[in-house]
Chain A
Amino acid sequence: MNAPTFEKRTRDQMAARVARDIPEGSYVNLGIGLPTLVANHLPKEREIFLHSENGLLGMGPAPAAGEEDYDLINAGKQPVTLLPGGAYFHHADSFAMMRGGHLDICVLGAFQVSASGDLANWHTGGADAIPAVGGAMDLAIGAKKTFVMMEHLTKQGQSKIVAQCSYPLTGIGCVSRIYTDLAVIDVTPHGLKVVEIVPGLAFDELQRLSGVPLLA
């Protein structure tokens, strides 16, 4: 087999790519894990409101070492800061912001996304796995747009974009756009439409690697 002619996007490059699609003035929730990196790539001059489901809006960066206040944390329970103009609120209000469609964008990690935009990201379904769902199901269906960030393939080389999710579902038909280390793909009523492919990767090769038919 020939050496690949393309380079996969790194996690930071994926985050930077997602950040490009977040316009000024957006209310945004960044999920735990990979999506958290997006915050590092939002341009300083662009005002974006970051929401964290434990009850804050206008979330700022991590505090300096020694300045941590564990009454001021994010959904991953890591210490954060509040920007001037930021606000605290209780949990029912926080999830009203999601469920009520007030957030413009949420960015989530995923185990699998189906061709029709079903999302699986909360549980592997393993018999001995202790389940924990948190806000995943509320986030998936709540925002105006749900972006997923994930590696295109599992470590075993299987497509994480699938005809039907084999892992337990988080939400049905909720994903708007998929950002992988190989491509950006929109979920449309007609199917999965490829928006962008990393340089050097041909559409046919992307199609071969993907578990479902793609639209050019």
Chain B
Amino acid sequence: MIDKQVASVADAVAGTADGATVMIGGFGGAGQPNELIDALIAQGARELVIVNNNAGNGETGLAALLKAGRVRKIICSFPRQADSQVFDGLYRSSRLELELVPQGNLAERIRAAGAGIGGFFTPAGYGTDLAKGKETREIDGRMYVLEAPIHADLALIKAERGDRWGNLTYRKTARNFGPIMAMAAKLTVASVHEFVELGALDPEAIVTPGIFVQRVVKVARTATGPAGFRQAA
């Protein structure tokens, strides 16, 4: 019997190698798999390359991983936020490499990796500093930039419900990067708040089919908190 559920978050991230490229889902706090990130900190892998939309908020989750000194490079679209002090300090002191990618190019580069695409021409970023040195091409009178896929060794994503085959659904805008990161990694680990019997998820409504998921771990539900902006006092 196939059962992708693992017993603990430690089992979920076991085997992560030093130097691994790790995709971490989330847009700010929504969809950020904090329990899996904490397990990765405890697991101890170093020199990681992280792919995320942001670069951590406050002192928890991705920010804690950065603060623990485990990350060599981050590939993201929007690192600077009101509460990105951990990233800001590391970046300013040149202890963290940054590859800044327009958000839609980031999403499509991840999707391309998952879909077996070797690269794609996009109009986003053409003529800007973020396309410097990249191949360009005119197609039907419009200018495009060649962008490469981003593959990962590991994806850590937060889903809402999952079953033993790894089928997943998400909650509201916490979906964000989960479905495409699940496709782009050699090993995808999903945390879920509810682990359900096979057949309990409506097949018409499964967002990530289990083929893209290798490990599922149940974590207790905690309310997602605010992140990414300065709260009014």
> Which chain A residues lie closer than 8 Å to B170 at the CB level?
88
- Judging by beta carbons under 8 Å apart, are B100 and A73 in contact? no
Contact partners of B124 in chain A: CB under 8 A: 99, 137-138, 141-142
B187 at the interface (CB under 8 A from A): no
How many positions in chain A have a CB within 8 Å of any CB in the partner chain? 43
* In the complex, per-residue mask of B67-90: 1 if CB is within 8 Å of any chain A CB, else 0: 000000000011111001001100
| Cα of A128 to Cα of B104 in the assembled complex, Å | 26
Bound: A22/B79 CA distance, A: 32
A94 to B105, CA, bound (A): 12
Asked if A131 is at the interface of the complex by the 8 Å CB criterion, the answer is: yes
Query: Would you call A132 and B78 a contact (CB within 8 A)?
Result: yes
Residue from B98, B107, B122 in contact with A94 in the complex, judged by beta carbons closer than 8 Å: B107
**A47-71 interface code vs B (CB 8 A; 1 in, 0 out):** 0000011111000000000001111
* Main secondary structure on A side of the interface with B: loop
Q: How many A-B residue pairs have CB under 8 A?
A: 154
- B28 pairs with A99, CB closer than 8 A: no
Could you pull out 12 A-B pairs where Cβ atoms are within 8 angstroms? A54-B176, A55-B176, A71-B172, A92-B179, A130-B88, A131-B100, A133-B100, A137-B125, A138-B103, A141-B124, A141-B126, A172-B127
Asked if A162 is at the interface of the complex by the 8 Å CB criterion, the answer is no
Residues of A within 8 A of B (CB): 52-56, 68-73, 76-79, 82, 88-92, 94-95, 98-99, 123, 128, 130-138, 141-142, 168-172
The answer to whether A73 and B108 touch across the interface, beta carbons within 8 angstroms, is no
Shortest A109–chain B CB gap in Å is 15
Partner of A88, one of B78, B84, B175: B175
Write out the residue numbers on chain A whose beta carbons fall within 8 Å of the beta carbon of B125: 137
Give complex CA distance A171, B104 in Å: 14
Q: Are the C-beta atoms of B129 and A168 separated by less than 8 Å?
A: yes
Contact (Cβ within 8 A) A91 B176:
yes
Collect the chain B residues with CB atoms within 8 Å of residue A77's CB: 27-30, 81, 226-229
**A55 with B173: CB separation less than 8 A:** yes
How far does the alpha carbon of A53 sit from the alpha carbon of B28 in the complex, in Å?
Answer: 13
Q: Does B8 contact A (CB under 8 A)?
A: no
Instruction: Specify the chain A residue showing the minimal Cβ separation from B177.
Output: A91
Closest B residue to A129 by CB, please name it.
B80
Tell me, in angstroms, the Cα distance from A168 to B130 when the chains sit together. Answer: 10
Q: In the assembly, what is the distance between CA of A123 and CA of B31, in Å?
A: 27
Alpha-carbon separation in the docked complex, A172 to B124 (Å): 10
Q: Mark B148-172, 1 if CB is under 8 A from A, else 0.
A: 0000000000000000000000111
Tell me the smallest distance from the CB of A2 to a CB of chain B, in Å. 41
Report chain A residues within 8 Å CB of B228. 76-77
Closest chain A residue to B111, Cβ basis: A92
Find the A residue at minimum CB distance from B131.
A137
Given A69-B172, A91-B110, A136-B102, 16 further pairs, Cβ under 8 A: A55-B27, A70-B29, A70-B227, A71-B30, A73-B30, A73-B173, A77-B28, A90-B179, A90-B207, A91-B53, A92-B111, A95-B104, A98-B104, A130-B91, A141-B124, A172-B126
